[in-house]
Amino acid sequence: MKSIKRIFILAFILLLALGNAYAGGGNRTGTGGANQLLIPVGTRGIAMGEANISIATGIESLFWNPAGVSKMNHSSDLMFSHMSYIADIGVEYGAVAANFEGFGVISFSIKSLSIGDIPVTTTLNPDGTGATFSPQMITAGLSYSKQLVEQISIGVTVNYITETLGDVSANGLSFNVGAIYDDLADINGLSFGLVMKNIGPEMKFDGPGLYTLADVNDLNRPPSNYKIDTAPFELPSSFELGFGYKPTIDENNSLMFSGVFQNNNFSDDEWKLGAEYGYNNIFFVRAGYKFAPNAIDYLYGFTAGVGINYEMEGFAVRIDYAYRDVQYFDGSHVFAVTLGF
């Protein structure tokens, strides 16, 4: 047990060092790319203000902290969700997780953005050529999670990222690494979590859309095609640490509080708070709030949601809803169905 605790402490120091190295606290705001990685999935977490990296469990925790997947209650879980994101963008998400006894949990997830058709414009036709294109942004993740001992869980996710905009595209890999420590300092119900997200090499757009027809000055030759060399961009990495507390009430009622500090590489640091009340493990009410003290104009704030969980022998179904208030845009509505076998 002592050796495992030492490993956990070393992992914490390593993640903290990585967080300081990669996260810039908003010093490079707006200079990163692949921001689709930042769009949250997981209805319970969204309803709780995205403050659940230390309390997330099962397949719901894949986006928040992969370590929490190891604490799933069934041999396998299946999850589907839909979010009405800003500017009429839809976010579709699906995930599956399987628990292999003695080895750990293997999970696969995929997230895609439904952006719709966009008119093609050029320098000669700024009002449109009559043609359209539909951007495609997909993130596919493969995760491994394991509960080392009753108190300590770890997890890692490898994401394959692809973005296609007309005739250009960019592909890359990112990594998420997380850990959760339950009953911290031997306090029953107190948990601590940390996670490093979106660490990986730079991405770069390429494709036939970068070729342009141009003349070469002072040379007697017809116009030729030249390729524009795009600049590479970094991923929006972040470092998060949070605490959660679940006080003991009685068999029918449960209460949970959570808080998270998030240090971002390409945006201002964020603080997140959340709470959940559950009755008889059947009905849940959730609320949360997130804010960025140093941000001049922050989009998000209040969140809320409800959930219904129904279990029978060998099967469970959970239906969740979350609402996220968004400044300047319509609020986001998120629906999710989770099946356990």
Strand partners of residue 33 = none
Fill in the DSSP letter of residue 209: G
Share of the chain above pLDDT 70, in %: 90
The stretch 165-193 carries a mean pLDDT of 93
In angstroms, the CA 38 to CA 236 distance is 8
Query: How many CB atoms are located within 10 Å of the residue 160 CB?
Result: 14
pLDDT at 15: 54
pLDDT at 21: 46
Q: Which helix (H) or strand (E) holds 12?
A: helix 2-22
Output the pTM of the full model: 0.89
CATH node for 2-340: 2.40.160.40
Query: Radius of gyration (Cα) for the chain, nearest Å?
Result: 22
In tens, the pLDDT along 240-278 reads 999 999 998 998 999 999 999 999 988 899 999 999 999
In tens, the pLDDT along 276-300 reads 999 999 999 999 999 999 888 899 9
In angstroms, the CA 156 to CA 179 distance is 9
pLDDT at 29: 60
Show Cβ contacts of residue 259 under 8 Å, excluding neighbours closer than 6 positions. 51, 242, 243, 244, 271, 272, 273, 274
Three-state DSSP at 188 gives: coil
14 pLDDT tier (thresholds 50, 70, 90): low
Which of 67-81, 122-136, 206-220 shows the highest mean pLDDT?
A: 67-81
β-pairing, 253-264 vs 168-182, is unpaired
8 pLDDT tier (thresholds 50, 70, 90): low
9 pLDDT tier (thresholds 50, 70, 90): low
Q: In angstroms, what CA-CA distances link 145 with 6, 194, 320? A: 19, 14, 24
pLDDT at 295: 85
In angstroms, the CA 143 to CA 52 distance is 18
